[in-house]
Amino acid sequence: MNEYELIGSPGCGSAIIEMAMRIAGIPCRLTDLPYLEPGPGRDRLLKLNPLGQVPTLVLPDGRIMTESAAILLHLHDVAPQAGLVPSASEPERVTFLHLLLRIVGAVYPTFTFGDDTAKWTLAGPAADRLRDTTTERRTNLWREINALVGAPHALGEQFSGLDLYITVMSRWWPGPDWFKEHCPALAAVALQAEKNPHVAAVLARHFQ
Ligand SMILES: N[C@@H](CCC(=O)N[C@@H](CS)C(=O)NCC(=O)O)C(=O)O
Outline which parts of the chain fall under CATH 1.20.1050: 92-195
* Residue 183 CA, ligand 1 centroid: distance in Å: 23
Alpha carbons 184 and 151: distance in angstroms, whole number: 11
Confidence at residue 2, expressed as pLDDT on a 0 to 100 scale: 81
Q: Which one of 3.40.50.10480, 3.40.30.10, 1.10.3210.10, 3.40.50.150 gives the CATH number of domain 4-82?
A: 3.40.30.10
Residue 104 is classified by DSSP as I
Confidence at residue 164, expressed as pLDDT on a 0 to 100 scale: 99
Q: How far is CA 113 from CA 67, 138, 208, in A?
A: 16, 11, 26
* Residue 55 CA, ligand 1 centroid: distance in Å: 7
At CB < 8 A and 24+ separation, what contacts does 56-60 make?
56/6, 56/7, 57/4, 57/5, 57/6, 57/7, 57/17, 58/4, 58/5, 58/7, 59/4, 60/1, 60/2, 60/3, 60/4
Confidence at residue 208, expressed as pLDDT on a 0 to 100 scale: 79
Q: Which of 7, 108, 172 to mutate to test the pocket of ligand 1 (most atoms within 8 A of CB)?
A: 108
Full-model pTM: 0.98
Q: Which CATH class is domain 92-195?
A: mainly alpha
Q: Strand, coil or helix: what is 8?
A: strand
With 0-12 CB in 10 A as exposed, 13-18 as middle and 19+ as buried, what is 202? buried
Confidence at residue 1, expressed as pLDDT on a 0 to 100 scale: 57
Residues whose beta carbon lies within 6 Å of some atom of ligand 1: 12-13, 35, 51-55, 67-69, 104, 108, 112
Per-residue pLDDT of the chain (208 residues; tens, 9 = 90+): 589 999 999 999 999 999 999 999 999 999 999 988 999 999 999 999 999 999 999 999 999 999 999 999 999 999 999 999 999 999 999 999 999 999 999 999 999 999 999 999 999 999 999 999 999 999 999 999 999 999 999 999 999 999 999 999 999 999 999 999 999 999 999 999 999 999 999 999 999 7
* pLDDT tens per residue across span 101-120: 999 999 999 999 999 999 99
Outline which parts of the chain fall under CATH 3.40.30.10: 4-82
Alpha carbons 140 and 19: distance in angstroms, whole number: 27
Confidence at residue 117, expressed as pLDDT on a 0 to 100 scale: 97
Best CA proximity match to 17, nearest among 99, 72, 84: 72
Alpha carbons 156 and 149: distance in angstroms, whole number: 7
* Residue 22 CA, ligand 1 centroid: distance in Å: 21
Beta carbons of 66 and 81 less than 8 angstroms apart: no
